[in-house]
A = this chain, B = another copy of it.
Amino acid sequence: MSKASSPSTLSIPNEIGGVRMTKQRKEVYRLLLEKKDHPTAHDIFISLQERMPSISLATVYNCLETLVEHEVLQQVNFDREPSRYCANLKEHGHFLDEKTGKIQDVAFKKDVNIKDLFDLPEDTIIENLDITIRGILPNNSTH
């Protein structure tokens, strides 16, 4: 098992798929690498204001849109609640614990290939698969 570099150490590239990683984009991305609790655009805006008092909410939205387009972030939606964002690019679902309101990533069990489980015609191309779960974790479960 290789040791992952911590987000503060991790160097974020200066370019990504042809677009510049600006100060603002880097800060948005860095925050999402650090905070794995799936913040909303507004949450991110509030957090970043400490380090970048001049950043605007429109910029946070712009950065998130760009980073999602370039597939370094995922947008996560629970019903019609404000969108949340996630820097985990592994295939995973999202679990909302109704007791705590906290959202966490959910991996699939070993050897499960989720895309093979749907009754779809052969040669169907799956571009994107979103799985969201609402439920209640057992007590004292930090996962």
Chain A residues close to B by CB (< 8 Å): 75, 77, 79-80, 83, 93, 95, 98, 106-109, 112, 114, 116-138, 141, 143
Contacts and interface: CB of A to CB of B under 8 A. Distances in A.
Given A131-B130, A132-B130, A119 B124 contact: no
Contacts of A116: 109
Nearest to A132: B130
Give me the 6 closest cross-chain CB pairs, A-B, nearest first: A123-B138, A126-B135, A128-B134, A125-B136, A107-B119, A121-B141
Contact of A106 (B107, B119, B131, B141): B119
Contacts of A79: 75, 77, 83, 130
A48 B91 CA distance: 41
7 contacts: A77-B79, A77-B80, A80-B80, A112-B117, A118-B133, A125-B136, A131-B131
User: Of A117, A126, A129, which is in contact with the most chain B CB atoms at under 10 Å from its CB?
Assistant: A117
A106 B119 CA distance: 6
A85 to B, nearest CB: 13
